[in-house]
Amino acid sequence: MPVAHILGFPRIGAQRELKTAVEAHWRGALDEAGLHEAARALRRRHWQQQRDAGLDFVTVGDFAFYDHLHNLTALVGASPARFGVGPSPGLADYFAMARGTPEQPALAMKKWFDTNYHYLVPELAADTRFALNRDWLLPEVREAQALGHRIKVVLPGPLTWLWLGEAEAGLDKLALLSLLLNVYWVLLAELKTLGVEWAQLDEPILSLDLPADWRQAFVTSYGELAGAGPQLLLATYFGDVSEHAAMLRALPLAGLHLDLVRAPQQLAQFVDEWPQDRVLSLGIVDGRNLWRTDLAAALTTLHAAQAALGERLWIATSCSLQHVPTDLRLERRLEPRIRNWMAFAVQKLDELALLKRALRDGEGSVWRELHVAASAIADRRRAPSTQVAAVRARVAALKPEHARRATPFATRHVAQQAQLRLPKLPTTTIGSFPQTDEIRAARAACKAGTLDAADYRTAMQAEIRSVVERQEALGIDVLVHGEPERNDMVEYFGEQLDGYTFTQNGWVQSYGSRCVKPPVIHGDVSRPCAMTVEWSTYAQSLTDRPMKGMLSGPLTMLFWSFVRDDLPKREVALQLALALRDEVVDLEAAGIRIIQIDEPTIREGLPLKQADRPAYLEWAVQAFRITASGVRDETQIHTHMCYSEFNDILPAIAAMDADVITIETSRARMKLLDAFADFRYPNDIGPGLYDIHSPRVPTREEMTALLDKALAVLPADRLWINPDCGLKTRGWPETEAALTRMVATARAARATLADATPA
Ligand SMILES: CN1c2c(nc(N)[nH]c2=O)NC[C@@H]1CNc1ccc(C(=O)N[C@@H](CCC(=O)N[C@@H](CCC(=O)N[C@@H](CCC(=O)O)C(=O)O)C(=O)O)C(=O)O)cc1
Ligand SMILES: N[C@@H](CCS)C(=O)O
Ligand SMILES: [Zn+2]
């Protein structure tokens, strides 16, 4: 009889209860005991849902107040010395490291593989020491046991934790491995003492291209940990691990998990000759998307696997369900037809249970449920919205010239400068200004019908006016309207495009207490009417300075949405590119002289394996260029990317040929710029002068030091001055204080440059 389990459940709560509790705690409105009680209630509910569905284990260890990787850092006592919290951080220390303190910047945040989730980067030093902190995880294990659950504990694996850490200069991270393994060993031993039967160690780095010493480290690590505690299930996900099949088969594990949604082909490499004493867990239900599973197809795969594996077959989600929304039952406004194509986390539990029953008792025992599921899949396949002739024809008619501006950058630059007359080192911001409680309350009231659309528009226009006035007072050169009318930079556009739908409660955690509600691409995408022109022209009417139009680019729309899985991503990207191109052209026609097309996700979409990257980058760059290339030379196209890790894709970024790129660099202390300089990046660059993720206002000296670094490696007449990213999560006081210093930094640098210029 196959065991059914999940790799993890969304911790945030179907209605973001965790966010509410954590933020209340941060503002002092909920004490630590209250916060723990809210957390316990969520865990209790989520475990019960797994048990009620009929899963064989409830998964414990997937809960985190901020981030699960940071939980492991706390559990193994590896807090960076700079925080001075010692080996046993409490909750206040945990939050201090996550959010920063007046004295210390927060731990860096990075994208979790190719998802839109961010983890807190462990800081590793030669003198990092580890000690098991028994206040973490173990109480949750006892809590689940006290509720009578049969549990499987999940932890990030030691090698994934180390790999994702940032090492101080000169440190080989693997030098810390044996000390780290000691703590894992003790932890696993304690879990065994508590009666835990299974521990799932997540090692998604096995989906990356791993150097030989790291592959070897798997052999030593798991050799050492195998007998320490509960039976070990090593979980891989997000890609194909078949290149490691021989090594994985030889590890003394009790089981291995494979992601068959991302890499179904890898099953063949494992299923035959799988050791008799090992479990093979097959991730057949998609943990990354919200579509129903094609149960008939899944059963075909699983029957074959069962024939080979018998009792050793486990069935599971492909990865943790933390990447999908919690419960479809809360969606009361979705079009019923489209809703019927979906499964959120709770519904995916039911899918697993159903698959298990079909395998155990025969498909006849669940034929009704299978029939309902098959009808939904068939209905989706034949829905007219998934095949719109006009959209398909437009994509088919694309020609190389659609992806090319009329002249090279140097020519455009002259035309743009003649029109815009910007000073050296022009100052700008990335688009959003603080999304205040008042703005969100107005939007919530408008959605609830208690504020009519005209009054909402007036309120947003008042906000735009105030944002414009503030920027003029600050002396910023290129203004933005501040994006107050946008709930989110992707959801907002998704709400206006055909082929998209959106949810009421489809929240997924992005980082800490911040969530996003990705819109859903269910059909062919097109733009029924202009989306931003009215807001941008209103904003431009308030000032003589250039007002940047502000759009999310095709890749960002793709990767931050739930995407249909019945069409290659490239095709969806091209549909989006054409829809957004029309918006760019309309903005230009309405008198907007600078248009920013945000593409913070270009790196997120990068395949995890090197070999798959060139093909992706080709269509990704093409999609951006199609969006950007419908305008005259005089119209300046900006793009913006946060997350500074793109040294390895600089040729592709240059090939996007945006006139100006603004990038996040401040946390990496401008290291990225060396790469831009070495590469001789040809167009203009705005390296972020300050980190917007923290309320801390940087000093003039800090900004000047960063600007000096930029000026040392790039020509002054290529440089722009801006923050790292949008300011929507910040409050006004720190925003104005930081921007005042930023403008002053730019002015001082201009004066220095003028002094240095021979008369
Ligand atoms: C730039 N980033 C983004 C990513 N992904 C996106 N899809 N969008 C992004 O901007 N990925 C990488 C980064 C991640 N960064 C962030 C930054 C900030 C947030 C964030 O603030 N999220 C908000 C939710 C935003 C939202 O959709 N707001 C809506 C709904 C607001 C709401 O909750 N309303 C309440 C009522 C409010 C009231 O009455 O006052 C309700 O409906 O109950 C809106 O503005 O209308 C968050 O709160 O977490 C996310 C990622
Ligand atoms: N224009 C967006 C980009 C965020 S990546 C903003 O400013 O929030
Ligand atoms: Zn950004």
**Cβ atoms 604, 561 nearer than 8 A:** no
Six-digit token pair at 533? 């022109």
Q: Assess whether 315 and 455 both reside in one domain.
A: no
The reply to whether ligand 1 has any atom less than 6 angstroms from the CB of 730 is no
Q: Assess whether 165 and 295 both reside in one domain.
A: yes
Residues 6+ apart with CB under 8 A from 110: 118, 119, 121, 164, 643, 645
Choose one of 118, 643, 725 to mutate for the ligand 2 pocket test, by most ligand atoms within 8 angstroms of C-beta.
725
- Give the residues across from 291 on adjacent strands: 342
d(CA 133, CA 139): 11
Provide the pLDDT confidence category of residue 678 given band limits of 50, 70 and 90. Answer: confident
Provide the pLDDT confidence category of residue 696 given band limits of 50, 70 and 90. Answer: confident
The answer to whether residue 474 sits within a structural domain is: yes
Six-digit token pair at 663? 């990038």
694 pLDDT more than 60: yes
The CATH number of whichever domain residue 638 belongs to comes to 3.20.20.210
pLDDT of 755? 85
Residues 6+ apart with CB under 8 A from 493: 519, 531, 551, 552, 557
Strands 109-111 and 123-124 turn out to be unpaired
Residues 6+ apart with CB under 8 A from 526: 388, 390, 391, 497, 498, 499, 575, 578, 579
Residues 6+ apart with CB under 8 A from 673: 665, 685, 687, 709, 710, 713, 714
The reply to whether ligand 2 has any atom less than 6 angstroms from the CB of 600 is yes
- Whose tokens are 């981030």? That residue is 67
d(CA 518, CA 714): 37
Q: Determine the distance separating the centroid of ligand 1 and the alpha carbon of 41, expressed in angstroms.
A: 24
For the residues 696-717, what does the mean pLDDT come to?
93
For the residues 141-162, what does the mean pLDDT come to?
98
Ligand nearest to the CA of 726: 2
d(CA 719, CA 711): 8
Each residue's pLDDT tens digit, 11-33: 999 999 999 999 999 999 999 99
Backbone torsion region of residue 464, taken as left when φ is above 0, otherwise alpha when ψ lies between -120 and 50, otherwise beta: alpha
Provide the pLDDT confidence category of residue 695 given band limits of 50, 70 and 90. Answer: confident
Pairwise pLDDT comparison (390 vs 109), residue with the higher score: 390
- Whose tokens are 């290291």? That residue is 671
d(CA 202, CA 222): 12
Q: How far is CA 602 from CA 142, 557, 559, 640, 678, in A?
A: 43, 11, 9, 10, 21
Domain stop point among 384, 402, 435: 384
Which among 59, 53, 54, 45 has a CA at the least distance from the CA of 9?
59
- String of b and e for 105-117 (b: at least 16 CB within 10 Å)? bbbbbbbbbbbbb
- String of b and e for 183-214 (b: at least 16 CB within 10 Å)? bbbbbbebbbeeebebbbbbbbbbbbebeeeb
Residues comprising the chain, all counted? 759
Each residue's pLDDT tens digit, 366-421: 999 999 999 999 999 999 999 999 999 999 999 999 999 999 999 999 999 999 99
The reply to whether ligand 2 has any atom less than 6 angstroms from the CB of 691 is no
Q: Determine the distance separating the centroid of ligand 3 and the alpha carbon of 118, expressed in angstroms.
A: 13
Backbone torsion region of residue 113, taken as left when φ is above 0, otherwise alpha when ψ lies between -120 and 50, otherwise beta: left
Q: Assess whether 490 and 599 both reside in one domain.
A: yes
- String of b and e for 67-78 (b: at least 16 CB within 10 Å)? bbbbbbbbbbbb
510: helix, strand or coil: strand
Backbone angles phi, psi at 599, to 5 degrees: -130, 55
For the residues 679-702, what does the mean pLDDT come to?
91
Which structural domain, as residue segments, surrounds residue 482? 426-756
pLDDT of 759? 53
Domain stop point among 384, 418, 437: 384
556 pLDDT more than 60: yes
The reply to whether ligand 1 has any atom less than 6 angstroms from the CB of 742 is no
Provide the pLDDT confidence category of residue 91 given band limits of 50, 70 and 90. Answer: very high
643 pLDDT more than 90: no
Provide the pLDDT confidence category of residue 646 given band limits of 50, 70 and 90. Answer: confident
For the residues 456-467, what does the mean pLDDT come to?
98
Binding-site residues from annotation: 16-19, 111, 116, 430-432, 483, 514-515, 560, 598, 604, 640, 642, 664, 725
Q: Assess whether 636 and 574 both reside in one domain.
A: yes
Q: Assess whether 684 and 747 both reside in one domain.
A: yes
The answer to whether residue 180 sits within a structural domain is: yes
Which among 325, 339, 279 has a CA at the least distance from the CA of 305?
279
Provide the pLDDT confidence category of residue 87 given band limits of 50, 70 and 90. Answer: confident
For the residues 139-149, what does the mean pLDDT come to?
98
Number of Cβ within 10 Å of residue 736's Cβ equals 18
- Residue whose CA lies nearest to ligand 2 atom number 3: 726
∠ Cα 559 484 65 (to 5°): 60
∠ Cα 94 724 103 (to 5°): 40
- String of b and e for 458-475 (b: at least 16 CB within 10 Å)? ebbbebbbebbebbeebe
Backbone torsion region of residue 734, taken as left when φ is above 0, otherwise alpha when ψ lies between -120 and 50, otherwise beta: alpha
Which active-site residues does the annotation give? 693
The reply to whether ligand 1 has any atom less than 6 angstroms from the CB of 560 is yes
DSSP state of 292: P
- Residue whose CA lies nearest to ligand 2 atom number 4: 726
3-state secondary structure 9-78: CCCCCCCCHHHHHHHHHHCCCCCHHHHHHHHHHHHHHHHHHHHHHCCCCEEECCCCCCCHHHHHHHHCCC
The answer to whether residue 85 sits within a structural domain is: yes
Q: Assess whether 354 and 431 both reside in one domain.
A: no
d(CA 119, CA 109): 5
Six-digit token pair at 211? 């150097």
Binding-site residues from annotation for L-homocysteine: 430-432, 483, 598
- Which range (352-356, 584-588, 673-677) has the least confidence? 673-677
Which among 727, 670, 705 has a CA at the least distance from the CA of 429?
727
Which among 316, 242, 304, 244 has a CA at the least distance from the CA of 279?
316
Q: Assess whether 437 and 314 both reside in one domain.
A: no
pLDDT of 588? 98
Rank 65-74, 665-674, 702-711 by mean pLDDT and report only the highest: 65-74
226: helix, strand or coil: coil
Q: Assess whether 343 and 434 both reside in one domain.
A: no
Alpha helices (runs of H) in 198-266, residue ranges in sequence order: 212-225, 245-250
- Give the residues across from 199 on adjacent strands: 153, 232
State the distance between the two ends of the chain, measured CA to CA, in whole angstroms: 86
**Which residues are within 5 Å of ligand 3 (an ion), measured at CB?**
600, 642, 725
With pLDDT > 90 as the criterion, what percentage of the chain qualifies? Answer: 92
Q: Which helix (H) or strand (E) holds 161?
A: helix 158-164
Q: Assess whether 358 and 470 both reside in one domain.
A: no
285 pLDDT more than 80: yes
Q: Is the pTM of this model over 0.90?
A: yes
Each residue's pLDDT tens digit, 243-263: 999 999 999 999 999 999 999
Instruction: Report the chain's C-alpha Rg in angstroms.
Output: 26
d(CA 607, CA 615): 9
The answer to whether residue 406 sits within a structural domain is: no
DSSP state of 341: T
Each residue's pLDDT tens digit, 434-444: 999 999 999 99
pLDDT of 674? 83
- Mind giving me the DSSP string for 366-379? GHHHHHHHHHHHHH
For residue 550, give the ligand 2 atom closest to its CA.
1
- Residue whose CA lies nearest to ligand 2 atom number 7: 726
Provide the pLDDT confidence category of residue 644 given band limits of 50, 70 and 90. Answer: low
Q: Count how many domains the chain has.
A: 2
The answer to whether residue 401 sits within a structural domain is: no
pLDDT of 440? 97
Q: Assess whether 477 and 556 both reside in one domain.
A: yes
With pLDDT > 70 as the criterion, what percentage of the chain qualifies? Answer: 99
Q: Tell the burial category of 2 from Cβ atoms under 10 Å away from its Cβ (0-12, 13-18, 19+).
A: buried
Each residue's pLDDT tens digit, 314-346: 999 999 999 999 999 999 999 999 999 999 999
Domain stop point among 384, 415, 442: 384
Which among 515, 59, 156, 60 has a CA at the least distance from the CA of 324?
515
Q: Determine the distance separating the centroid of ligand 3 and the alpha carbon of 654, expressed in angstroms.
A: 18
For the residues 231-235, what does the mean pLDDT come to?
98
Each residue's pLDDT tens digit, 174-207: 999 999 999 999 999 999 999 999 999 999 999 9
pLDDT of 758? 61
- Give the residues across from 233 on adjacent strands: 200, 255
- Which range (138-142, 250-254, 255-259, 663-667) has the least confidence? 663-667
d(CA 322, CA 400): 40
Mean pLDDT of the chain: 96
Q: Assess whether 524 and 376 both reside in one domain.
A: no
Q: Determine the distance separating the centroid of ligand 3 and the alpha carbon of 559, expressed in angstroms.
A: 14
**Cβ atoms 532, 584 nearer than 8 A:** no
The answer to whether residue 414 sits within a structural domain is: no
676 pLDDT more than 90: no
pLDDT of 370? 98
DSSP state of 629: T
Q: How far is CA 37 from CA 139, 508, 542, in A?
A: 13, 22, 50
Q: Determine the distance separating the centroid of ligand 1 and the alpha carbon of 495, expressed in angstroms.
A: 15
Number of Cβ within 10 Å of residue 246's Cβ equals 9
- Mind giving me the DSSP string for 551-569? EE-HHHHHHTSBPPSSS-H
Give the 3-state secondary structure percentages of the chain, helix then strand then coil, rounded to 5.
50, 15, 35
The answer to whether residue 623 sits within a structural domain is: yes
The reply to whether ligand 1 has any atom less than 6 angstroms from the CB of 221 is no
The answer to whether residue 282 sits within a structural domain is: yes
**Cβ atoms 355, 302 nearer than 8 A:** yes
pLDDT of 647? 80
Ligand nearest to the CA of 488: 1
Q: Assess whether 311 and 178 both reside in one domain.
A: yes
724: helix, strand or coil: coil
Q: How far is CA 266 from CA 159, 259, 441, 513, in A?
A: 22, 9, 49, 36
Q: Determine the distance separating the centroid of ligand 1 and the alpha carbon of 492, expressed in angstroms.
A: 11
